[in-house]
Structure 1
Amino acid sequence: MATALGGGIWWWAKLDEAAREAHKWAWWWGGSAGMAIGAVLLLTLMTHGESAIVSAWAGDTPADTFGAGIAAILLFQLVGYTIAWAWWWLRRR
């Protein structure tokens, strides 16, 4: 983690202002939207879905379900970030 943090700080220092703004904007809007959409979908599935569907991907234990939920939210955030980042650059080209 320390190496990743150091690499991230080095990478961020090398970026120009436009690239920094694109990443900040994409993470705020794309990551937030992805997290909100993912949370709503996961909560709906957990409360209204059939238990067989939930346990098929989330596991049977609370720790498995928690881990699957975290991974799913991170995936939704990454997809939202990627879409927002591409949108930001395409609007400015």
Structure 2
Amino acid sequence: KCLPHYDPASCWSGDTLPSFRYWKIRDFAYAYRSKLVTPSKIAEQIITLVEGCKYHKAPTPLLISFDAEDIRKQATASTQRFKEGFLSAEIL
């Protein structure tokens, strides 16, 4: 294997989201497969964060181009794929 051992379940306790940390792709894959969170929920959190940065006294441009509706559309499609069982075994 090219990736070192890593247990994403160790970062989760019950139904609560883990405290701030840098998520790895394996964290997202585990959370989606385990139904702890959906791509749509993560997308909404990111949209809220990015849009909130626009209103600071010194705006923080996090992205050059940002289309919240397109992000929501993609997240909804991904959430549906996980509900239907697609990708569940294929992602890390």
Greater RCO between the two (CA within 8 Å, min separation 6)? 1
Which category describes the TM-score, using the shorter chain as reference length? 0.3 to 0.5
TM-score in terms of structure 2 length: 0.39
TM-score in terms of structure 1 length: 0.39
Which has more radius of gyration? 1
